[in-house]
Structure formats: C-alpha cells, structure tokens
Structure 1
Amino acid sequence: MEAMDFTVASADTGCQEPPNTLVDWALEILSTADPDEKARLGDLAASRWLRGDIPLPYDPSRPARPPPDRPARSAEVRLLPPSRMPKLGKGGSAQSRLAMLHSLAHTESWAVDLSWDIVARFGAAMRMPRDFFDDFARVAQDEGRHYTVLSARLRELGSHYGALPAHDGLWDSAMRTSHSLLARLAVEHCVHEARGLDVLPTTISRFRAGGDEQTARLLEDIIYPEEVTHCSAGVRWFRYLCLRSHGNHPTSCSVPGLEPRSSGLPGDGTADGKTAREAEGEPTPKLAKDVRGDDKMVQQVEDELPSRIAQDANGRSKVTEHVEDGLAKCKLDDSIEKYEELVIRTFHRVVREYFRGPLKPPFNTEARKAAGFEPAWYEPLAVKEACIEGETIE
C-alpha cells in the first residue's frame, strides 16, 4: 500500500508516519541524502498532493520549520570547485558522452532539491496561492523523473551517478537568493532554467552525432519539453509576485488562467478565505522577516505604478484571456503593457544584483518564447556595459 512507501524516518523524532502538509514533505525530501530515494519521495509527494491526498500546503496554525541551508546529499558524489572540474568535451568519445550524461544527472538531482526548497522556504512565508504549490510540485516531480532516467541510462552504459566528480555551483546561487523569492525565481527558475533550454539542442546533437541515439531521444522527447514548462513557472510566479503588491491589479489575489482548487487555503494562501492583504488589514502585503528583501523590491515596482489604473468598479472583470502556452498573464485594457514593463525592469534589477556577469548568447529564442520568456526580459542583460569618462560603451 502507498502509506508503506514512506520509509524515511525523521532525523529529529524517528517518526515513521508520513508528513501532513506539502511543506512537511518538502522538508523530509530535503533531509534525504540518497538521490534515488530523494527522487522517489518527491514523486510520491507530488502525486499525492496533485490528486488531493495531502490536504494543505502548510499548516497556518504553527510556525514553519525552516529548511536546511544545504540539503542532505550523498557522500558518494565527490564535489570539486567549478574551476577544478574536468572539461566535459563535445561528445566525440564515449568517455566525453559519459561525462556529459553524469553532469546532466547531477544537475537534475540538484534541481529536485531546488524545487522542494522553494516550496519549503517561501511557500508559507510569502502566503503563496495553492497554484504556486501545484506548479513547483510538478516541477519537482519532473526533475526527479529526469534524474531517474539519466541515472538509469548511466547504469546501462556501465557507469553510475557518483562515478565522476561534480560541483555544486547551482546551490551556491540558491544560497545567495535564500532570503528573496523574487531573486530565487529570477536566478534559478528563469536564468538557469532558460540556459538549459539554450544548450540542450546542442547537447542532443552531440549525443546523436556520437551514435548514442537512445540518450538523444531521452533528452529530446522527455527532458527538453518539460524544461520549457519549468522556465514558464519561474516567469509566471516572478510576474505574479511583482503585480500582487498592487491591490487594484487583477493578479493581486490570484493568477488568471489557472483553475482554482478546493482547499483549506484560498488564492493567497491564508487560512480563512481572505487575501493576505485583507487578513493583515494593510494595503500591501506584510512579508515574513526572512524574505523581507522582496518587500523592498516589490515596493519599487509599486512606487512606479500609475496612480489611477483600473479604479472603476469593472476593473477586475476586464481580465480577458491568458496567452501563449497557458501562461498566467492577463490583459487590462492598455495598462497591462505598463505593468509588464515594470515587471521586466524589476527582473533586470534583480538579475543584475544576484547573477554574476551578463547572460551568454546564443539564446534559444523559440523555446524561451514558448515559456513566455520574451527577449525584452533577457536581451538587455546579455551585453555588459562599461562606462568610460561619462560615456556608455557596449
């Protein structure tokens, strides 16, 4: 029976009972070192959550237990600084293709932790809607499946995950954004996920050119299309978080285009059916202390918003359609362009602060567009500017 599938004891209590909320599950997964077990528990948690067997994303009656600064990881995977990592090569030899495959499996294993960390670290603290938990449970489940199939492919080729060294640079950037959901979404779930979309077609071609059609098809048919949806989740929730701060904007309490699900928590994650703003009796949300950096960042957007947008009684009813690939984006007469411009400018500020260096072209514009990640978001970040004697040189 499924209840018996949960076999990892809590490090603190030794309790064998399944967690009660999705955040509790996320914390258990982050505390699981074995990557195969981590992926298995993640798949179990996401499946139970998405079919409604886990009743709440978090328990609003008690303080959330903070996630670990670093997730539990297997000691069998030897970590090196990024600067000391051997070159992967271009797939021209069997050894190079194994190194590429191992690197992909390692990245997907870290992606499992990143997906559950955003649930555990920010979901309750930021009073996120239930759809936020839905999205990142799906992302985490996908990442676990990606790791599992890549790890299995390594074994088919006579190797295994942990046979080669790896680095944890992905988690270094996660630590730099641990205080800010805006920064985490921008760097990990937009910049890094989109970079994966940029390089995957070349990676697929290299496996295919090397005669490994099975790995090429695995990447092409399973991993590539799902990574598009992961990037779209980052864009969607970055936009939502920016626009939520303005009470008159239609995304302030929910994400248009997403079907609400019945639960003990409504659209903005409070326990009594009110929005976060109504529950706190304030015109703008009061964010948790450990993510207060977002308060300032979102306030910058709000301070720039037009003073009169959608003030009439029909303002909320003018949300008309969501756009490309089901992205949760809304239209409010012509004002949506002004909001979108402000969101994009906020994205630029956040990435410049938390991501080291410019973004690297060439970009996979087709896949990025499918994810709702338009060039206006990333192209201005691709060229590093230098100022010399009052002149800006690109």
Structure 2
Amino acid sequence: MGEIGNETLVEAALRVLNTADPFEKARLGDEVAEKWLKGDIVIPYHASPDTPVPDRPARLANVKLVSPSEMPKLGKAGSLQSRRAIVHSLVHTESWAIDLSWDIIARFGKQELMPIDFFTDFVKVAQDEGRHFTLLAARLEELGSSYGALPAHDGLWDSAIATSKDLLARLAIEHCVHEARGLDVLPTTISRFRNGGDEKTAELLEKVVYPEEITHCAAGVKWFKYIYLRSKNPALDSDFEVSEESEAEVIQKFHETVRAFFRGPLKPPFNEAARKTAGFGPQWYEPLAVKAFSTE
C-alpha cells in the first residue's frame, strides 16, 4: 500500500475496511472523504495490482451475532427497552453501511474502470453513513445503552458477499432493495419514536438520516443505469441521459438482477414519494412485490 499522504482512494478505502473499531472506522472514513472531496487525494487507483479487498472487513467481536430469524422483536418504540433495541439495530446497520460504501469503491471502481463521479458519489455516501453511525451510537448512549449491548445480524454483509463479483447486482440489491426498504420503513419508525415521546431520536432520523438515505438510493439507481447503458455504448459519459426506450431496458435488467440475487419478493407498502425522489418509480419495484410474485 502507498505512503499515507500519497495514497490512492482505493488504498485509503482499504485502510477503512481493515479498521476493526467501528468508531475509528467512521472517523477515518470521514477523514478520507474530506481529503478526496478537497482534492488532497486525487488518484482513485494505481495501474499496478492493488492489495486484495477483504472478503469480510475487520470488525470487533463485541457484538453478538445471530441469524435474522433469531433476532428478538424490536417492538414499536413505546418503551425504553424497545427504543434502545431499534436504535441499536440502526447503529448496526449503519456500521455495515460504512463498510459497504468503501467496499464498492475498492472492489469495483478500478475493476469496472468507473468514472471519477462514481468514486465521488460513494465517498459522499460513505461519509454520510459514518455520520449516521456516530450520531445514532451517541443517541444510544443517551438512552442508557451502547453498541454491542444487544444481538445483531449480518444480513447486509451476506448480500455483499453474494454480489461481490457483479457491480450491477451490488447496486441493485444493496442500494435499490435494502436501502430503499429503509426509505419504506423510516417514516413509520420516526412516527413511533415521536408517539413514544422520544422527539430527539425522531428528529435525528427525520432531519439527518432519512433525507440522506434518499440520496444513497439515488446513487444506486444512477450507477445501475450507467453500467447497463455503458454495456450498450462503451463511450457513454457519466453525465448521461436516458431515453424512454432505454429506461424500459434498464428496468427489465433490474428485474432480472433482483430475481437472480434476492430471495423472495419485495415487501410493500412502498414509499413511492421517496423512491421517486431517488429516481425510480413503481415500474421498477411493483412487479417484484408480493402480489406480483403470487400470480406468476
């Protein structure tokens, strides 16, 4: 790996991925993001072979991991215990989101010869996720708990492993399925915290996390479109426009990709307004929903 201060973005991303402590991972990620966005890091990657991307990022062993089916119910934020459980779950999700953002940069940026805008978009996503983690972890402390106090599952990273050789699949599953699911459920979660008298958590989710997660889904949609359309036109610029005909082809490819890499149908109800803001309308996801699957 290159000298710190003279490293590429991919080398810096690997440093983040190989940092085990999630708080330090978030801090380091923010530092790297600032350097890239300010122009202190200017080279995305070297032409020479890079250090391999780890199959699993470094993680501390202080969080007890269980299968998703063994996770205790989170409740509806009506009690302190439930509020702690929900925030703990969100903190854990954000800790993985940090790794997912740096992983897509390190794993696919050079391999797919992605334009600079791709790196910048996911650096911004990574920086947001680190901020979400830090703020939610601090809120969990204020609620009298801490990250690692409750069990968690690693379903998000299971999906990352399943899509580790296919950028289209990674973008579709992580950003247009899992992250979009977050858009669907966050308004209800916010309402539950507010109804439970926890305005501070509700405000954090509503004013910081929710609007930024929309931009993360938008990045997934944008680069899914780009990768597919570039396969048809190798000279495609990152500042591209999509015709109606091409959009229909992209959506068909999205359906094929989700069905190949995601188990089962998508679960409504969908947050149509937030998804539309992120750049994808009902034609993207409704054919993949429970009702559509049950009639095929």
Alignment TM-score > 0.5, same fold: yes
CA 1:19–1:102 in structure 2 vs 1: closer, same or farther (change >3 Å)? Answer: farther
Report the residue type matching 2:173 in the other structure.
V
In the TM superposition, structure 1's runs of 4+ consecutive aligned residues that sit over 6 Å from their partners are none
In structure 2, C-alpha distance between the alignment counterparts of 1:241 and 1:77, rounded to whole Å:
36
Other-structure match for 2:264: 357
Q: 8 Å contact 1:19–1:25 — kept in the other structure?
A: no
In structure 2, C-alpha distance between the alignment counterparts of 1:16 and 1:55, rounded to whole Å:
14
Q: Following TM superposition, by how much is the alpha carbon of 1:384 offset from its aligned partner in structure 2, in angstroms?
A: 4.7
Other-structure match for 1:42: 29
**Which of the numbers 237, 241, 250 marks the counterpart of 1:343?**
250
Other-structure match for 1:90: 76
Other-structure match for 2:183: 197
Secondary structure of 1:385's counterpart equals helix
Q: Following TM superposition, by how much is the alpha carbon of 1:119 offset from its aligned partner in structure 2, in angstroms?
A: 0.3
Question: For the pair shown, which has the larger CA radius of gyration, 1 or 2?
Answer: 1
* Contiguous gaps of at least 5 residues in structure 1: 1-9, 257-328, 387-392
TM-score when scaled to structure 1? 0.73
The yes-or-no answer on 1:243 pairing with 2:229 is yes
Secondary structure of 2:232's counterpart equals coil
In structure 2, C-alpha distance between the alignment counterparts of 1:247 and 1:92, rounded to whole Å:
53
Q: 8 Å contact 2:84–2:140 — kept in the other structure?
A: yes
* Contiguous gaps of at least 5 residues in structure 2: none
In structure 2, C-alpha distance between the alignment counterparts of 1:238 and 1:142, rounded to whole Å:
20
Structural mapping, 1:176-215, within 5 Å: 176-215=162-201
Other-structure match for 2:15: 28
Q: 8 Å contact 1:64–1:124 — kept in the other structure?
A: no
TM-score when scaled to structure 2? 0.96
What's the C-alpha RMSD, in Å, of the aligned pairs? Answer: 1.5
Report the residue type matching 2:266 in the other structure.
L
Report the residue type matching 2:180 in the other structure.
A
Report the residue type matching 2:237 in the other structure.
S
Q: Following TM superposition, by how much is the alpha carbon of 1:105 offset from its aligned partner in structure 2, in angstroms?
A: 0.5
**Which of the numbers 77, 91, 96 marks the counterpart of 1:105?**
91
Report the residue type matching 2:285 in the other structure.
Y
Report the residue type matching 1:180 in the other structure.
D
Report the residue type matching 1:57 in the other structure.
P
Report the residue type matching 2:38 in the other structure.
R
More helix by share: 2
Secondary structure of 1:55's counterpart equals coil
In structure 2, C-alpha distance between the alignment counterparts of 1:55 and 1:131, rounded to whole Å:
12
The yes-or-no answer on 1:130 pairing with 2:116 is yes
Paired-residue identity, %: 65
Q: Following TM superposition, by how much is the alpha carbon of 1:55 offset from its aligned partner in structure 2, in angstroms?
A: 1.5
Other-structure match for 1:324: none
CA 1:158–1:255 in structure 2 vs 1: closer, same or farther (change >3 Å)? Answer: same
Other-structure match for 1:368: 275
Instruction: Identify the structure with bigger relative contact order (alpha carbons < 8 Å, sequence gap 6+).
Output: 2
Q: Following TM superposition, by how much is the alpha carbon of 1:63 offset from its aligned partner in structure 2, in angstroms?
A: 1.3
Secondary structure of 2:88's counterpart equals helix
